[in-house]
Structure 1
Amino acid sequence: MPDVRAPYAGFVTRPLAIAVDLGGTKVEAALVDDLGSVLPASRHRRPTGPTATSAELEQAVRDVVLATLAALPDDAILVGVGIGAAGPIGVADGTVSPLNVPAWRDYPLADLVSGLVPGVPVVLRIDGVCITLAEHWIGAGRGAHNLLGMIVSTGVGGGLVLGDRAVPSPTGNGGHIGHIEIAGFEDPCPCGGRGCLEAVASGPRTVAWARTQGFEGTTGEDLAAAHAAGDPVALAAVERAGTAIGRAAASASSLLDLDVVAIGGGFSRVSPALFEHARAALAERVAFGFVTRTRIEPSALSDEGPLVGAAALVHRPELVA
């Protein structure tokens, strides 16, 4: 195993962080430099999911972290590990309880990773904060001072940067916009709420709603293809999800006076129409110019955003509350 704690003799060192992204369908890790660039050959992923056991999840994390560590170049120094995890999390004790990964409740993920990469700091935050840091650093929110980042995928996560810093949060769950309730919707949510944004607009729940209307597909990819083909149920499903996202963004901006809402995640790419519907819903707040000035933008970081944001926990500590 390479020495991760000291520069290599004879080389000009470059600082790298291991970025870990734990979500409802996969865990991924990669090396990311201090400019926010992901080293492609260092990127590894394994499945997670609602049926995975705790032992399977532990092994998946070990696999990706150790494979990424093995890719550390000889001219680099590892300066830390940043972890972005689906919420809720416990930032004080480094635990995770992802709603869509039921085998882990108050699981000590930070301790697991620390044991794999001794001698460097390990920083854990909710995945929504990580995507927001990434967009603020090098993405769609670059230059914005007040930013909401949103992940629309298996679930819906979020995070906030206000005044160029991640908002302080005693448990680490601040900005978790997936579980605010949206007017006009009554979809039940596993968190106990009704009409939560995640229950309405996540990929699986949007597909589930479409199936109640006669849609025969089973995945977000199926829905995207049907939408592109003009299927009326798929069109309605994407409009429904986009409207909910826009209402959530408008409510958040009413509260926080946001410059940008940057949205990433796999399901956010179902169709550009998702963003059109979201912007239309936000534009309905006609009396509040400070709300309608808010820009809703797709992530500028493709699927690398969560990893870049996890690395920002290490490379850009001044942004992290």
Structure 2
Amino acid sequence: MILAIDIGGTKLAAGLVSDDGALVTSRRVATPQSGDAEDLWTALTDLIEPLAAGVDGVGVGCGGPMVWPSGEVSPLNIPAWRGFPVRSRLQALFPGLPVRLHNDAICVAAAEHWRGAGQGSANMLGMVVSTGVGGGLILGDRLIDGGTGNAGHIGHVIVEPGGVPCGCGGRGCLEAVARGPGLVEWALAHGWTPGERTSSEARPYREDREVTARDLAADARAGDAVATAAMRRAGRALGIAIASATHLCDLDVVTIGGGLAQTGDLLFDPLEEALREHARMDFAKRVKVVPAALGQDAGLVGGAALILAEERYWLGHPPVGVERR
């Protein structure tokens, strides 16, 4: 049984995953927002303590950037942790056991390849489209890490040269165009009035809460022109990026998960349109783009895969002081 951990900016999740990839049990708590590194660590240890007895290893997914594979993390959405040695801290809690950590989007990709929508594909890109855009790359039935563990980071492929600024310091990145908060910002700047199409006396739109991509998608489905244009812009950006990745990597399948993927045809129809316009080489035309299958459990299943299927997802990087099994 593997203890799997998924560290995110809004929630911390932990669960037990059996050797066939099934999530047996899980727990979740809100990520502390105090700004104190030790408060966050205490919340994590309190979360995993009821699950810790008798486990055979620990697999972790966490947002980046990070020093990999040593596991000092500085997640952009968790300001409290800058260079925080989460992997070595966990190794101290579980001496003698394998403790492995990777980027959270890479864990999701591994999960979808191992037990989700990418099963049976030897060449796959797994994507997460939510508050950010991340990915993981499987080629030849194995996770490709790259020199620093960041291979597959499709969120920073340029889709609009000279376009909107991105948090990475560049301009026109896929993440800047297609992430949920970016879509909302674009729509508001182009005259979208949230809730105009979907509010009613029975379900009024509350102006005192944060506007989200879910609100945008609801208005788009109700026929709001600006909201529809925003969703179309995101979908087409994704299609262009996937076409480029397919030409580069000769992909069979691309899986897309994350909150924005739940909008269905609002995102996938313009994505397919742009993909087929730009994937012109014969070998690239065969790529299929499908919704991810594992939902919110994917990060935990992928964390466990770093240990349970190490021959595919943890190649050549055994933990310090622990021999490969």
> Shorter-chain TM-score category?
0.7 to 0.9
Task: Give the CA deviation at 1:216.
Answer: 4.1
Q: For residues 20-56 of structure 1, what are the alpha-carbon distances to aligned partners after superposition, in whole Å with 9 as ceiling and x for unaligned? A: 112232221111112221124x32232256x744233
Helix, strand or coil for the counterpart of 2:51? Answer: helix
Q: Which amino acid aligns with 2:15?
A: A
Decide whether the 8 Å contact of 1:44 with 1:68 is kept in 2.
no
Helix, strand or coil for the counterpart of 1:284? Answer: helix
Q: For residues 29-85 of structure 1, what are the alpha-carbon distances to aligned partners after superposition, in whole Å with 9 as ceiling and x for unaligned? A: 111112221124x32232256x7442332233223222433xx6xxxx411111111
> Superposed, which structure 2 residues align to 1:192-271 within 5 Å?
192-217=169-194, 218-271=211-264
Decide whether the 8 Å contact of 2:69 with 2:102 is kept in 1.
no
Task: Give the CA deviation at 1:303.
Answer: 1.7
Helix, strand or coil for the counterpart of 1:181? Answer: coil
1:46 and 2:42 matched: no
Q: Structure 2 regions of 5+ residues with no counterpart?
A: 195-210, 316-325
1: CA distance, partners of 2:40 / 2:237: 32
Task: Give the CA deviation at 1:159.
Answer: 0.6
Q: Which residue of 1 aligns with 2:115?
A: 138
Q: TM-score by structure 1 length?
A: 0.86
Q: For residues 143-162 of structure 1, what are the alpha-carbon distances to aligned partners after superposition, in whole Å with 9 as ceiling and x for unaligned? A: 10100011111211111110
1: CA distance, partners of 2:227 / 2:42: 37
2: CA distance, partners of 1:174 / 1:246: 19
- Aligned identity (percent) is 47
Task: Give the CA deviation at 1:115.
Answer: 3.1
Helix, strand or coil for the counterpart of 1:269? Answer: helix
Q: Which residue of 1 aligns with 2:320?
A: none
Q: TM-score by structure 2 length?
A: 0.85
Task: Give the CA deviation at 1:215.
Answer: 2.8
Task: Give the CA deviation at 1:286.
Answer: 5.3
Q: Which residue of 1 aligns with 2:94?
A: 117
Q: Which residue of 2 aligns with 1:24?
A: 9
Helix, strand or coil for the counterpart of 1:58? Answer: helix
Q: Which amino acid aligns with 1:250?
A: A
Match for 2:41 among 43, 55, 58? Answer: 58
Q: Structure 1 regions of 5+ residues with no counterpart?
A: 1-15
1: CA distance, partners of 2:247 / 2:39: 42
Task: Give the CA deviation at 1:185.
Answer: 6.5
2: CA distance, partners of 1:92 / 1:136: 21
Report the RMSD for the aligned CA atoms in angstroms: 1.9
Q: Which amino acid aligns with 1:59?
A: T
Decide whether the 8 Å contact of 1:44 with 1:67 is kept in 2.
no
Q: Which residue of 1 aligns with 2:68?
A: 91
Q: How many residues align?
A: 298
Q: Which range moved further: 154-163 or 110-119?
A: 110-119
Q: Which residue of 1 aligns with 2:135?
A: 158
2: CA distance, partners of 1:63 / 1:46: 12
Q: Which amino acid aligns with 1:130?
A: C
Q: For residues 95-145 of structure 1, what are the alpha-carbon distances to aligned partners after superposition, in whole Å with 9 as ceiling and x for unaligned? A: 112222233222211122223334421101111221111111111111101
Match for 2:150 among 165, 170, 173? Answer: 173
Q: Which amino acid aligns with 1:214?
A: G
Q: Which range moved further: 58-67 or 272-281?
A: 58-67
Describe the shift of the 1:230–1:113 C-alpha distance in structure 2 as closer, same or farther (beyond 3 A).
farther
Decide whether the 8 Å contact of 2:244 with 2:279 is kept in 1.
no
Q: Which residue of 2 aligns with 1:9?
A: none
Q: Which amino acid aligns with 2:90?
A: V
Q: Which range moved further: 51-60 or 145-154?
A: 51-60
1: CA distance, partners of 2:64 / 2:279: 33
Q: Which range moved further: 178-187 or 248-257?
A: 178-187
Decide whether the 8 Å contact of 1:24 with 1:154 is kept in 2.
no
